[in-house]
Structure formats: structure tokens, C-alpha cells
Structure 1
Amino acid sequence: MKIKRKGDVDYNVKEALTTPPTFPPLDDGFVIDQHVYSNQWCRILTIKDEDNNKQFMVDYSNELLQLALQNRPPEATKVHYRLLKSDGRVRREAEARFDDLLNTNKVVATPAHSVNNYASPWYPVEGRKRCRPVVPSICSNQLLRQVQRHYPIRDCQSKISRILNKYRSAKTASLLDVKDSYRSIRLGKNAQLLSQVHARGSTLTYLYMLDGSSINAKVLEWCVNHLHG
């Protein structure tokens, strides 16, 4: 039996998510292109803007967001212990990545009224080519893991490494921008509210999927499967 940690929340998912899911409207300037996958609490779409530029998007149902906000966990620490222990160079390079994300509108400042207890600290990780920030999203992931025990994202049996390598240079892959993996999959309004990070002395909101989310692999499988299909 899994031992509960201090601050863990039992969301009673099976009892709470019994009605057909509803979803918020898309961000301004976007319309639905195609439905890729949906279940009791999430949906994956392709969306397009006024210039017909297409991209993938994932969002959570209104019912899941309501469940999350009605059962808020204790506020997480704003500074991760790994950030405190990190090398100065690695930290600076990873922090600069937030500037890049802000400049490309993949991350935005969170309005004060939207900041919630699912906001996460971050820490830097040094990769082969660059340093990047990882957002563990402990509280959001706890919710997502509980909901997936009852309503899992169905396995589409895609071989990501083989298919993604095949389609990175394909025209459809370029149009739908999967070259940067799940970091190019847009988040809908509800998913954005559960994708906040304490960084740069404030709270930021990711508009695209971030390192650390427990559903990254499953969502990417469906996106790649859509390209393959």
C-alpha cells in the first residue's frame, strides 16, 4: 500500500467525474481543426489560427478543474531544494530559458487573481547541449495520477522513437510543430491554470506543455499517432 505523504489530497475522482465532460472555449484567435482523442477528463485537438497555422492542443475538463480548485493542496514551497544546490552557471543558463519562453510567448506572467496552490517551484538540469528548467508540478501531477488510475489516457501503441524520427522532417510534422516534442503542444485554458511555476521572482503560466508533467508521454503518443495515421 502506498504511504500518504503530508499534504497529499484524496480527490475522490471516481465519485466526482461521473458526468460527460465539458471544456472551456479556446484562446482567442483559435478554432478547432480536428479532434484527436478525448476521455472523461481531457481532450487532444489540432487547432488553427486565422492564418491557418495548425498545432496540437491538450486541455482538461471543466469538471476536473473544478475538482482541483475545490480540493486545493497546501501551497508548495516557492524555491526547490535542487535550485538552491545547483551550480551557478547551470542555474543562470536555465533561468535564461525562461526569458526565451517569455519572448516567444510560450510562458506568460500569471495574473494575481489566477495564482493558485498548484503553482510549482523549478530546478535546473544540465543536458548534453543546454541547461533547461524542470518544473516537477508535484500537486498537479498528484491529481493527474489519481485521475489516470480511474480514467487513463488510452495507450495508442505508438512507437514514439521510430515514428517521431520518421516524421520530424515530414511536411505535416512541420506544420503541426512536433519538432520540439511535447514542448510544442499547446495547453488549453484549464490546463494552463494547473501549469504555473514560481520563477524570476513571480509566478508564470506555461501556455505549452512543460518538462515534468506526468501525461507528457501519453499525449505525445497520440499526437504522433495522429501524424502517422
Structure 2
Amino acid sequence: MTSQHALVHLAPQPDCPASDLVDQAEDALWALPGGWEQVLITTQRRYAEYFPLRSGADADHPQLIRTGEGATTHCAGGPIGLLDLHARRIQAADSAACLYDAWTQAVAAMPPVRSLADFLAASDSSSALARITFREQTHIKIADSLAEAQLSRTDKEALATLDRDAFVERARAQAVTADSLLQLDGPRLIRPTWADSQAPDTAAAEYHQRVNAYLDSLPEDHVIVGADFIR
């Protein structure tokens, strides 16, 4: 089973309630090719409370997309003027900084961690074995134990190769971009490292930059919805 965090951009519709916005986002995602099995937006999934609300935002706004369990400070989507993307970026950066500091302190007395590139260059067999050997390093297992959430393959590779500032900035850049963005009047954008599990982390930099710029340029009444898109 493959899960993708998909963002959907919907045009402003002031009289449209959240339930109708959910239906529109689901219809847009179901129409995409790929043999998808589920589109989950307002259930208790990973992204049901992905977006924090801006300070002072109307927590009872009828277009905020929630699980139906009452007003909270987070939601799965709504008018972008109510969503605090900046706060989520700060949170992601702070978490990355805490992880990096705890990890470097924990491994300080150990020999330097080896990067995946080192194992791939030295491997006489398959790249899959090199990746397994990289993940089996004690350094990486320690990182897994210290992380608040499960670390992705690219998270571990970044931790082994980037300095603190670069690792924190990477987390900030990825905080609100998800795995894909279905633009209102443009093509669907997909993060390269999601589409190709072997792609280097650097391949996704342009994706994150483009999606961040896109979201930050939207008028406040435009709607962004996040979904768990599963096949």
C-alpha cells in the first residue's frame, strides 16, 4: 500500500460549506490516473489536523475542514487566509534542530557516520544492500530512536550529510509542501523523491521551492485541502 499526502487547490466559493469542499477535492483526486483505492480527508488520519489556524482566525469558520469532533486549532484544510503556514514551518524547523542537536550529542564519541553515497560507491553488489547497510549503522538507529515521528529514507540521508543549518532549512522548506499539489489551473506537481524511491534528496528541492511559492502567492479566499491518497 502506498500513501501520498496530496494537496488540492480549489477556487474561492464563499457560500460553499466544508462538506462540499471535501467532495470537490475528493472528486478531483479520484479523477487522477493511478489506480487509487482511498481518498481520506476528514477521518482520523495523519493529515486531519495538518494545518494550524492563524492567531485570531475564526475557529468556527464554515469552510474549515475538520473531522467533525468540534473546533480545534488545526484542520485538514480551508481558506488559506485562515491557515498558518508560517507557524508550521517554524515548528518543523524547531523539531529538526532539536533532533539534530540530540543526535549529534548522542553520537559525538562515535566514529563519523558514513553517508549512503559512501556505501553505494563501495558496494560490489546491489544498491539495495548498500541502502540496508547504511540504515543499519548505529548512528541511524539512534536517530530513529530520538525522532518524534518516523524518519523517512531521505531524512536519514540528510541527517548523515547535512550540517545543522542546512538540515533545519530543509525541514522548513518541506513543512507544508506535502507529496503532491493539484494546481487549480495547472499540472499536478509530484515530489520526485515520492515518485522515485531511489531519487536523491536534492532532486526534490525545486519541487518544495515551487510549491511554497505557489501557496504563499494565493489570495486569502482560495482553498487548500490536504488528503491521504492511498493505493
TM-score range, shorter chain: under 0.3
Q: What is the TM-score normalised by the length of structure 1?
A: 0.24
Which structure has more relative contact order (CA 8 Å, sep 6+)? It is 2
Q: What is the TM-score normalised by the length of structure 2?
A: 0.24
Higher strand share: 1
Point out the structure with max Rg over C-alpha: 2
